[in-house]
Structure 1
Amino acid sequence: MNLKVFILALATIAVGLVELIVGGILPNIATDLGISVSTAGQLITIFALVYAIAGPVLLVLTSKFERKKVYMISLIIFILGNIVTYFSPNFTMIMIARVVTAASTALIVVLSLTIVAKIVEPAYQARALGFIYMGISSSLVLGVPVGILVANAFGWRVLFLGIALLAIGSLILISIFLEPIPGTDSIPLSTQIKALASPKIITAHLATMFFLAGHYTLYAYFTPFLENNLGMSANWISICYFVFGIAAIGGGAFGGALSDRIGSRKSIISVIVAFTIVLALLPFTTFSLLLFIPVMMIWGGLSWSLAPPQQSYLIQTDPVTSDIQQSFNNSALQIGISLGSGIGGIVLNQTVKLEYTAWIGSIVVVLALASAIYSLSQPVTKAKRIRKTMAQSSEI
């Protein structure tokens, strides 16, 4: 595999950590800044929201500029954002830094995917893209448990300094090994948005959004859930996050295999239904660790099982706009994370019982099920018009 692919994957690990690591250290941040855990959770909400909006917008705005230069500038901004977080004296300054790092992260991730597709031969593109996604997945598996251990030993701020150092290493490697890549004209953002006109497609994205929203209603506050409902120490919480992460990555493979076996349509419904049930049952298993861990692993596996059949479904629905739809589906995912962490914060402000986050989350996932059923029941009626609009934009 091309060395440049590994370097780009390393960069995605560094930038992926900055979003995911916060979920495990919310109590540390809240205690240090003198705020509630639910308020600290808004650091996840704002990051996901900015990420969702900034990705497609910044990609279009920077499309004509040389890609290596844009990548390096984005990394520099990302590094500065993490340094500001390290030195931030209050919550407001940290929130501003999160906006900066979220926007730069969104552009870095999408640039990693587009650059990889250009620097490898077509026969190896799928494998190369897999390495980039593996980098993001690795940040989920390693970031949260390692972050909890480091935060408890050295303080939560040092984590962001470490992320900045990883990004500096990536910046050096990118500057040495990646050759300049010219920019290209892209389809206008307004035209891309028109691709969402189909009710069949927009409700598919809503299914992704509500699915992740329901998941993050609990997952964004999983550390206090484990502390209060199971009385876990920091070490045990790290182990739980690590096991959850392994299950989540395995869930992605399961979702792909399930889709190949029974088809994307049946897989989407099956995963959402199973996820709703498991999420609702999870609080009832906290009386026994031997019961909780397996159910938690099923929850973790299902949380990533929707993506493969959903992506396959979008491609089958309209192959011409599939690339654009994948971009919007990633934004829907981030909006779901933002919405879910926000809902979880509201729940915590209304009640001290953390199990309510799981039950409210399962109700939100029911909205994902309703959206998926509606999408699957709709005919493809807008595809020809969308293709015509895109073709006209390309000619312009």
Structure 2
Amino acid sequence: MDFRVIILAISTITVGLVELIVGGILPIIADDLNVSIGTAGQLISVYALVFAIAGPVLLSLTVKIERKKLYLYTMAVFFVGNIMTFFSPTFTFVMIARVITSMSAALLIVLSLTITARIVDAPRRAKALGYIVMGISSSLVLGVPLGILITNAFGWRSVFLGIAVLSIGSFILIFFYLEKVPSGEVQPLSAQIKALANKKIVFAHLATMFMLAGHYTVYAYLTPFLETNFSLNQYWISICYFLFGIAAVGGGALGGNLANWIGSKKSILIIIGAFALVLFILPYSTFSFTVFIVILMFWGTLSWALSPPQQDYIIQTDPASSDIHQSLNNSALQIGIAVGSGIGGFVLGQTDSVTSTATVGGVVVIIAFICAVISLSIGRSKMKHVKETSVDYQ
């Protein structure tokens, strides 16, 4: 694999850690800053909301800037945001720092995807994107246990100091090993608005959103699911999260390799369909912890396998607007996380059965499958701006 792609994947791990790493240490943060746990939880929800909005907006505003230069500038802002968090005296100051890190992280992740798509030949593009997704998924799923470990040893502020140090390493690697990447053709605002009206890609974004929503309907409440069905202690719950995380990291590579093998379109349908099936099976696997672990690993693998073929499909469908759509797809992912967590909480409140979240999650994923089918069935868009501003990613 191209060493430049590995560097970008490493950067996404560093950047992605910031989002959910506070999840397992919220009570400690809340106690230190003299706020309630519910208030401290806004550090996650506000981050996701800002991330979803900032990605497409910042990408559009910075379209004329050479990509490597933009990446380095944005990484510097990301570093400042984490240093601010480390020194924050109040909750308000922490929230401001989180907004800064969220905005910079949103741009850095979409830049990692779009730069990868440009520097890698088309036949290997989906596989390369899979490595970037591995970086994103590994940071999201392994961030929580890592945050707990570091906090127990050095305190919660050291988590953000550590991320700041890692960002310096990423900055150095990008500076020395990534060549300049042209910004590409600059599309007029009217063309970008037309790109947002492309129904074929809109339904692809909806597929991503509902896929992650179905996933987080269950995953956001995995701890009570494990406690209710198996009466596990914190040690075994941590092991389950770790196994899920390892499987999820491999899912990005699986999705990329599958897309290279059978094509992105078939991969999208197979992954979403299999994911829905696994969620429906999940409640019936609890009769045996061993069987459940096997299903858990399948669940984890499929949870992040969609993104590489989906990103490749977006590039194929509308090359001229693929940068903005890759950013929007990441926004759809963030919205899906928020929506899924909300759905799971509602189901739990209405049924008082955490096991039922898996069935509801499966239904939500079926909606994602329908959206994917609709997207694939719509004829290739003949929008005029695609012909006029087509970008060669090879």
TM-score, normalised to structure 1, is: 0.79
The 5-angstrom pairing of residues 86-125 of structure 1 reads 86-88=86-88, 92-114=92-114
- Deviation by residue 1:103-143 (Cα, 9 ceiling, x = unmatched): 1011222334455677x686998587665444334424643
Number of aligned residue pairs: give it.
389
Quick one: structure 1 residues 124 and 285, their matched pair in 2 at CA, closer, same or farther if it must change by over 3 Å?
A: closer
Q: Does 1:251 align with 2:251?
A: yes
Quick one: structure 1 residues 384 and 123, their matched pair in 2 at CA, closer, same or farther if it must change by over 3 Å?
A: closer
**AA of the residue aligned to 1:370:** I
* Residue range with higher mean Cα deviation, 200-209 or 319-328: 319-328
User: Is contact 1:19–1:44 with CA below 8 Å preserved after alignment?
Assistant: yes
Tell me the equivalent position of 1:333: 333
Tell me the equivalent position of 2:62: 62
Deviation at 1:207, TM superposition (A): 0.9
Q: Does 1:85 align with 2:89?
A: no
Alignment partners' CA distance in 2, 1:315 and 1:116: 12
Tell me the equivalent position of 1:279: 279
Q: Does 1:53 align with 2:32?
A: no
Quick one: structure 1 residues 91 and 346, their matched pair in 2 at CA, closer, same or farther if it must change by over 3 Å?
A: farther
Tell me the equivalent position of 1:195: 195
Quick one: structure 1 residues 300 and 177, their matched pair in 2 at CA, closer, same or farther if it must change by over 3 Å?
A: closer
Deviation at 1:228, TM superposition (A): 5.3
Alignment partners' CA distance in 2, 1:313 and 1:66: 25
Paired residue secondary structure (1:243): helix
Deviation at 1:290, TM superposition (A): 1.5
CA RMSD of aligned residues (A): 3.8
Quick one: structure 1 residues 353 and 161, their matched pair in 2 at CA, closer, same or farther if it must change by over 3 Å?
A: farther
Deviation at 1:177, TM superposition (A): 6.3
Paired residue secondary structure (2:305): coil
TM-score, normalised to structure 2, is: 0.79
Deviation at 1:208, TM superposition (A): 1.0
Give structure 1 stretches of 5+ with no counterpart.
none
User: Is contact 1:41–1:220 with CA below 8 Å preserved after alignment?
Assistant: no
- Aligned-pair identity in percent equals 61
User: Is contact 1:144–1:238 with CA below 8 Å preserved after alignment?
Assistant: no
**AA of the residue aligned to 2:110:** V
Deviation at 1:267, TM superposition (A): 3.8
Quick one: structure 1 residues 277 and 53, their matched pair in 2 at CA, closer, same or farther if it must change by over 3 Å?
A: same
User: Is contact 1:51–1:105 with CA below 8 Å preserved after alignment?
Assistant: yes
**AA of the residue aligned to 2:107:** L
- Deviation by residue 1:315-367 (Cα, 9 ceiling, x = unmatched): 55455555544333233222222322343455556676433443433332232
Q: Does 1:237 align with 2:231?
A: no
Tell me the equivalent position of 1:385: 384
Deviation at 1:9, TM superposition (A): 3.9
- Deviation by residue 1:71-107 (Cα, 9 ceiling, x = unmatched): 3432232223223434556655444332221110112
**AA of the residue aligned to 2:277:** I
Quick one: structure 1 residues 187 and 230, their matched pair in 2 at CA, closer, same or farther if it must change by over 3 Å?
A: farther
Quick one: structure 1 residues 236 and 269, their matched pair in 2 at CA, closer, same or farther if it must change by over 3 Å?
A: same
Deviation at 1:3, TM superposition (A): 6.7
- Deviation by residue 1:280-333 (Cα, 9 ceiling, x = unmatched): 443454454222211111111121232344345445545555554433323322
Tell me the equivalent position of 2:206: 206
